[in-house]
Chain A
Amino acid sequence: MTEFFHMGGYAAFVWSAYGLLVVVVVWNVFSARALYRAAQAAARRRLAENVL
């Protein structure tokens, strides 16, 4: 197990790369959902304004 985490001496490089992947994937999911929610809220506002 320790050998696995050691990555043949390249642990810092290999785990940083995989860690950054996780960060980028999480950012993509959350930023897309935030954009989606903001678009829904803005659409709701526009529809409410134009009811007249």
Chain B
Amino acid sequence: MTRLTWFYRLASPPTSYATAGRLLPWFAVPAFLLLAVGLYGGLVLAPKDYQQGDAFRIIYVHAPSAWLSLLGYSVLGVSAGIGLIWRMKLAHALAAAVAPIGASFTFLCLVTGALWGRPMWGAYWAWDARLTSELILLFMYLGYLALRSSYDDLQRADRASAVLALVGLVNVPIIHFSVNWWNSLHQGSTVLRAGGPAMPAAMLIPLLESFAGFTLLFAAIACIRLQAEILNRERRPTWWMDSAIKGVPHD
């Protein structure tokens, strides 16, 4: 048990609040640098695709958004489950913090996918396995957020929405493997595939930078939202006031 004390300390509201605040600049600064470099590389440095021309440049927005939609839901579902099983406030706070971020990137993934599909497939939308399962993911996020907002009491909102979040977790592997399990209009994996990435370095490097930038941005926004969610779950956050008085940075 003693080995777990560091974990309990980290999960205490004052410590987790301060940790999120301290991590924030370490995520935010490289996030914006990598996004700038990656998107410049995607728009300017990468050569045109021999089949898709310049339309392929949408990949630098679309694929990292898709990744964040899945990462966000995985974090949401797993932390909601942890919160439910171990009655851990911090886990519920993290689930609530990442949900709006994940939802926004799921939306971006769907819209940029439509903008890519129109010139390449001739249609903005198709009721295809990949597209449909991603749309269901957006509905899971929106359902989770709507259910939460229907409760005034945060603890009850946490518990009720966690059940929904946990159920929706089954959709994550379905989305990921949908292009392999069903005949899909959507192209298969380009980067994480057997035999290595099917892309030249000039295209691949900006894509990896973009992936890293998106992921760090997700972490940075999650830190800000997590601080708010932790504070909202404290009836009397005297530790927060104390740190404000002592001048310990909490902003």
Contact = CB atoms under 8 A, between A and B. Distances in A.
Chain A interface, >50% SS class: helix
B54 A7 contact: yes
Contacts of A28: 100-101, 104, 217, 221
Given A24-B105, A43-B234, A14 B241 contact: no
B48 A8 contact: yes
B246 interface: no
Nearest to B35: A25
A35 interface: yes
Interface of A: 4, 7-10, 13-14, 16-18, 20-21, 24-25, 27-29, 31-33, 35-36, 38-40, 42-44, 46-47, 50
Contacts of B105: 24
A42 B53 contact: no
Contacts of A7: 54-55, 57
B3 interface: no
Contacts of A10: 53-55, 119
16 contacts: A4-B44, A8-B53, A8-B55, A9-B53, A9-B54, A10-B55, A17-B58, A17-B115, A20-B61, A24-B104, A25-B35, A25-B217, A28-B217, A43-B232, A47-B236, A50-B235
A40 B228 CA distance: 7
A20 B100 CA distance: 16
B231 interface: yes
A28 B54 CA distance: 28
A31 B116 CA distance: 28
B248 to A, nearest CB: 15
A4 B53 CA distance: 12
B148 interface: no
Which of B61, B62, B227 has its CB near the most chain A CB atoms (within 10 A)? B61
Contact of A31 (B43, B100, B234, B240): B100
Contact of B225 (A14, A27, A32, A47): A32
A21 B119 contact: no
B67 interface: no
Contact of B231 (A18, A29, A40, A50): A40
B228 A35 contact: yes
Given A8-B48, A9-B53, A50-B236, 11 more contacts: A8-B53, A17-B61, A20-B61, A20-B111, A25-B217, A27-B104, A39-B232, A43-B241, A46-B235, A47-B236, A47-B238
